[in-house]
Amino acid sequence: MMLRRRRRTPEPVASPGGPARVDRRTKRLLSRMDPGDVAVISHRDIDRISAEGLVRRKAAAVVNADSSITGRYPNLGPLLLCSAGIPVIDEAGEGVMAIPEGSLLEVDPGSGAVFVVGDGARHEIARGRVLTLTEVEQRLDRAKQGIAAHIEAFAENTMDFIRAERDVLLEAARLPRVRTDLHGRHVLVVVRGYDYREDLAALRAYIREVRPVLIGVDGGADALLDAGYKPDIIIGDMDSVTTEALLSGAELIVHAYQGGRAPGLERLTALGLRAEVFEAAGTSEDIAMLLAYERGAELIVAVGTHTNLVELMDKGRRGMASTFLTRLRVGQVLVDAKGVSRLYRGSVRRRDLALLVAVAVLTMTVAIWISEPLRLTIDLLWTQVTTFLFDLRHSLFGFA
């Protein structure tokens, strides 16, 4: 009699989910995320830095009200998220931004449905497109093929902005006053850009020996704290700097938009902190370099700054006028440390290690030979060991 094999019913796969963290600014949301949270954002063309932050925070899922990859340029954020196995629900609609912070969410990686869980039930509140790794790779390939047209438009916008922002190059008198003495010193400007952690770690010996003035640009201040350093100056719009960094005792300079509006100043005022305000059309990292240059820095070392097309488009810039003009002005004292961590990685060869051990053994042997007290100590220890072994042999085998 043949026994029928019972077919096992596959167990249902649990939908990823967790508490919702809701913010239109992904970099601002990252500071509130814990592992297992669901990031609810409205971020068109997710950039690499934001995606790395979400992966590092171990997000359970990402729900994006906007399009994570439009094809305007090859942004790597969605590729990193999909490669890390984080479900991305794309184009979920503006309604998801009204989800209360902390609500328990579940997402269905099959249908793209987003559910709010509570009172023993779950209710669908939105539905988007599920991004797959294959789809993202195909979109990136198409974006790379059309990059030439974007370079041309980017160059045209740069020329237009140069006419409007030429004061960045010509009018240094409007730079803010600072208490920190920069004259004749090295200045390290840290931006939370590509590979900033690795590059900052590669400069550890330089920082220890030269002791440069440390300027953190927005989240770059937290990068310095994470690496074990205290920033001397923090420059930026203050929207992605932690309160811990702001209270570290650093000199604060708020980057104001054209017209004088400085939203970051309200936050500092609420914390009871004093700050200088600097109105400029350029980026915060640009004014940090200009400040160091105009205050007489001997050398400016830049970590994590944005210089190429993809990086600048990740930052939402349509041109690079301020970056171009700033580097023209400070270029003679500027050293860009981008990628320095990949330039050279030291390693110890086995031959060198063996030679080091041999020299150490030889040194110990010579020291013992020429030192009478040390030689007597070694002889005494050897006598005690041989006596112990003799006694042990006698007790075990009963003969001398």
Mind listing the pLDDT tens digit for each residue in 88-99? Answer: 999 999 999 999
Largest CA distance in the chain: 103
Check whether 157 has a pLDDT greater than 50. yes
Q: Please identify, in words, the CATH class of the domain defined by 17-141.
A: alpha beta
Check whether 2 has a pLDDT greater than 60. no
User: Residue 41 is inside which H or E element, if any?
Assistant: strand 38-41
Q: Are strands 113-118 and 104-107 parallel, antiparallel or unpaired?
A: antiparallel
* 71 burial via Cβ count (<10 Å: 0-12, 13-18, 19+): middle
Res 41: pLDDT? 95
Kindly report the average pLDDT of the chain as a whole number: 81
Res 352: pLDDT? 64
Check whether 1 has a pLDDT greater than 70. no
Lowest model confidence (mean pLDDT) among 93-97, 144-148, 306-310:
306-310
Higher pLDDT, 196 or 328: 196
Res 341: pLDDT? 61
Check whether 261 has a pLDDT greater than 60. yes
Report the chain's C-alpha Rg in angstroms: 30
Res 364: pLDDT? 65
Res 115: pLDDT? 94
Res 266: pLDDT? 85
Check whether 148 has a pLDDT greater than 60. yes
List the 213-217 sheet strands across, edge first: 276-279, 251-256, 233-236, 213-217, 186-191, 299-303, 334-336
Check whether 38 has a pLDDT greater than 80. yes
Could you tell me the pLDDT band of residue 325, with boundaries at 50, 70 and 90?
confident
Encode 280-293: b = buried (16+ Cβ within 10 Å), e = exposed. Answer: bbbbbbbbbbbbbb
Could you tell me the pLDDT band of residue 11, with boundaries at 50, 70 and 90?
very low
Res 292: pLDDT? 92
Higher pLDDT, 164 or 24: 24
Dihedral pair phi/psi, residue 129, rounded to 5°: -95, 135
Res 10: pLDDT? 41
In DSSP terms, 252 is beta-bridged to: 234
pTM of the model: 0.63
Higher pLDDT, 323 or 319: 323
Lowest model confidence (mean pLDDT) among 24-33, 124-133, 380-389:
380-389
From-to residues of CATH 3.20.19.10 in the chain = 17-141
The answer to whether the CB of 276 falls within 8 A of the CB of 174 is no
Check whether 347 has a pLDDT greater than 60. no
Mind listing the pLDDT tens digit for each residue in 264-307? Answer: 888 898 889 999 888 877 788 888 998 999 899 999 999 988 76
Check whether 342 has a pLDDT greater than 70. no
Check whether 147 has a pLDDT greater than 80. no
Could you tell me the pLDDT band of residue 372, with boundaries at 50, 70 and 90?
low
State mean pLDDT over 339-366. Answer: 66
% of the chain beyond a pLDDT of 90: 38
* Tokens 């980057």, residue located: 255
